[in-house]
Amino acid sequence: MATKTQAQIYAPQPDAGFSPRLLIVDLTNNTTETVYVKADMARKYLGGAGLAAKIIWQETSAETAALSGDNPLIFMTGPLTGAVPYGGRHIVAGLSPLTGIYGEAHSGGHWAFRLRSAGYHGVVVRGRAHTPKYLFISADRVELRDAATFWGMDCYEFEDALKELEGNKVSTAAIGQAGENLVKFACIMNDGKRGRAAARCGLGALMGYKKLKGIAIRSAGAAEVADKKALKASVEKYFPKVKITNAVRKTKGRELWDSLWQMGRAPIQNWASGEFKEVDDTIVDVLSESAKYDFCFGCRTSCVESRLNAQGKRHTVWEALCPIGTQCLIADYDAVHLAYDYCNQYGMDSISLGATLAFAIECAEAGLIKSDLLEGLDLKWGNAEAMLAMIKKITFRQGQLADILAEGTRQAAQIFGNDAERFAMQVKGLEIGAHDPRAYNGAAIENATSTFGASHMSGFTSIYYDYAVKEDLEGAEISRWVATERLSPYQVEGQGKLTAKAQDFICLLNSLTLCLFTNSTDCFGRPPLQPPSYLDFLNIATGWDVDLAEFYQMGERIFNLQRMISVRRGISAKDDTLPERFLTTTRGAGPAGENLPKLDVMLTEYYDSRGWSADGIPTDEKLKSLGLNECL
């Protein structure tokens, strides 16, 4: 299988033109090898999420177990990583141990830049080590090293230990104890206490299964591109300089906080409520006063979710307070932030963890968890002490209940039985992020149809609604392509079509591996980039002559390929749905208080606009038109 794959995707020497350099690591045989992506493959699958999907398609089958040496764990950057502003991101992909289908996670920080400046675009990890290992990469050295002394460390300790060994120009991507213990929603953290997470889909459990503690990269310098001078000029042309002060950041943080609440996005009490009055509305301002803003590589603004507290640890607002706090009716922000810190330290996805805790509380209150399983823990709404204790138990799989919950909500519900599935708020096995699918109809479709399970970022549709699309964007390229007409968040007609286009565009950004906020005004008033700007960067960096039509088709091809990985593993229209609560119970408060997404109607339009069958399968005609003959 590997030989066939290498013959199709890789070459031992670089092709003429853009030919990304990858490191192939075989943990079973303790070997590493440098290969190059063939130029035609690079142009077809772009990089990041696209190239990773191509490798997964070729290296796995319908039968490949997610926790197996045959499932590759892929770290991938894109053609613009480390070369343009907001280009400090990488993706991690593989078959997900949590969902069993295509799995993808994204992270910012500085690790991706270090990988590029060490001369690699990606790392493909095959096999499984006999004893714990870590991978060390620098511009002149690649080593698989013994990690026995590091196994059992948390993500902060591992980064500190490697900095001690190799100096400050080291960044690590590592698992903590959750990944080592195969917690199914374990994540891969990078940059230590700065707390950047490739969070979703439980890929930290795959890394733990492979006995790979981390990848440490020591490098400095710049990422290579085809024409550095021209790229600099293009960046100056398309990225207007904006001056951001902390006062502006504070104001914009407050505006974002208010708008998320006003839109009705907050997850409350396992999505059963629309209000949580105990939340201190001043918390966003209080936190802004003490925050130090952190910047991913190349970021010019920083954002409200990227800050450090006085101890230099990652410190967020919405993505800490909501998935864990409001979900469990806990308004004690100190406790919530400690829980968030546990997630980053032990290496767990805070979204899936929060959803799992809320699920467990609701099951306990409904009498679905036998009292002996609780071992005296008072698991109820608002009990911060029990919440914190449960997080530690899940990390180390201490006790039968923690062991069950460490499998994620879908699997735990099956074990509890008695219709516990109704409290498991997941799609295709992946828990729903902290943005309510009832808040705007695009969120309902993107969560139902994202290629890797529930995701509020797979389409980012909210930026295209009439309240978000600014007048000065009238006629802008992105509006012409994605949002051909202005929609209201609750409108039914047009949402399927909009979501399909928006998802394809996000696939492009995740393959270029740029921050998604370049696509919106969320970066504190900086105008969103338009597709021609991304395309200009891409062509200059690679030496290509891609036009807009080819660029858009790349996004559509990548989305369809990811879908086909999951279709091959049994996914179809039956799985493109939402938990019943979102379809039958209103939030009851706020502007979205009465909205129930008409998912069936919107999905029909969605499949139709994608050229898929009514069963949610890309047709042969569609696959051929995208050049995906390997999926026929």
Q: How far is the CB of 15 from ligand SF4 (least distance, A)?
A: 31
What gap in Å lies between CA 533 and CA 535, rounded to an integer?
Answer: 5
User: In this chain, which of 108, 323, 531, 597 binds ligand SF4, going by CB under 6 A?
Assistant: 108
Judge contact between 346 and 393, C-beta under 8 A: no
305-334: contacts with ligand SF4 (CB under 6 A): 306
Nearest residue (CB) to ligand SF4, 206 versus 515? 515
Residue 529 as a binder of ligand SF4 (CB under 6 A): the answer is no
Q: Residue 86 interacts with ligand SF4 (CB under 6 A)?
A: yes
Among 19, 77, 117, 302, binds ligand SF4 (CB under 6 A): 302
Angle at 619 between CA 616 and CA 624, to 5 degrees: 140
CA atoms within 13 A on the CB side of 617: 12
Select 330 or 515, whichever has its Cβ closest to ligand SF4. 515
Q: Point out which residues pair with 36 in neighbouring strands.
A: 11, 21
CB of 514 to ligand SF4, least distance (A): 8
Rank residues 175 and 296 by Cβ distance to ligand SF4 and give the closer one: 296
CA-based nearest residue to 88, from 116, 68, 61, 63: 116
Give the x-and-dash track for 378-417 against ligand SF4 (CB under 6 A): ----------------------------------------
What 3-state class would DSSP assign to 305? coil
- Joined tokens for residue 590: 């706020």
Listed ranges 223-231, 302-310, 416-424, 439-447: which one lies at the site for ligand SF4 (CB under 6 A): 302-310
Whether residue 3 contacts residue 527, with contact meaning beta carbons closer than 8 Å, is answered with no
For position 299 contacting ligand SF4 by CB under 6 A, the verdict is yes
Does 517 help bind ligand SF4 (rule: CB under 6 A)?
A: yes
Candidates 80, 91, 233; CA nearest to 539 is 80
Instruction: Identify the CA nearest to 324 among candidates 309, 313, 339.
Output: 339
Distance of CA 190 to the CA centre of its chain: 13
Q: Is 603 in the site for ligand SF4 (CB under 6 A)?
A: no
Look at residue 162 and give its three-state secondary structure.
helix
Nearer to ligand SF4, 104 or 407 (CB): 104
Q: Which two tokens stand for residue 449?
A: 């149809």
Q: Which of 312, 248, 291 is nearest to 523 (CA)?
A: 248
- Here the contacts of 2-10 (C-beta below 8 Å, separation 24 or greater) are 2/59, 2/126, 4/58, 5/55, 5/58, 5/59, 6/35, 8/38, 8/41, 8/58, 9/37, 9/38, 9/41, 9/54, 9/55, 9/58, 10/35, 10/36, 10/37, 10/38
Residue from 238, 295, 381, 396 touching ligand SF4 (CB under 6 A): that is 295
Please, which of residues 530-559 interact with ligand SF4 by CB under 6 A? none
- Beta-carbon contacts of 630 under 8 Å, excluding residues fewer than 6 positions away, are 57, 58
Out of 124, 212, 523, 603, the residue judged to bind ligand SF4 by CB under 6 A: 523
Computed from CA positions of residues 369, 371, 376, 379, in that sequence, does the dihedral angle turn out positive or negative? positive
Rounded CA gap, 459 and 499, in Å? 6
DSSP character for 17? Answer: S
* Residue closer to ligand SF4 (CB basis): 56 or 92: 92
- Segment near ligand SF4 (CB under 6 A), from 278-286, 297-305, 369-377, 487-495? 297-305
**Min. distance of Cβ 518 from ligand SF4 in angstroms?**
8
Q: Is 303 among the residues that bind ligand SF4 (CB under 6 A)?
A: yes
Stretch that binds ligand SF4, among 294-302, 319-327, 385-393, 541-549 (CB under 6 A): 294-302
Nearest approach in angstroms of CB 250 to ligand SF4 is: 15
Nearest CB to ligand SF4, comparing residues 302 and 383: 302
The distance of closest approach from Cβ of residue 381 to ligand SF4 in the complex, given in angstroms and rounded to an integer, is 32
Q: What is the DSSP string of 579-607?
A: -HHHHH----SSTTTT----HHHHHHHHH
- Binders of ligand SF4: how many residues, by CB under 6 A? 13
CB of 295 vs ligand SF4, minimal distance in Å: 5
Nearer Cβ to ligand SF4 (79/496):
79
Between residues 299 and 473, which has the closer beta carbon with respect to ligand SF4? 299
Among 198, 515, 573, 592, binds ligand SF4 (CB under 6 A): 515
Binding site for ligand SF4 (CB under 6 A): 86, 88, 108, 295-296, 299, 301-303, 306, 515, 517, 523
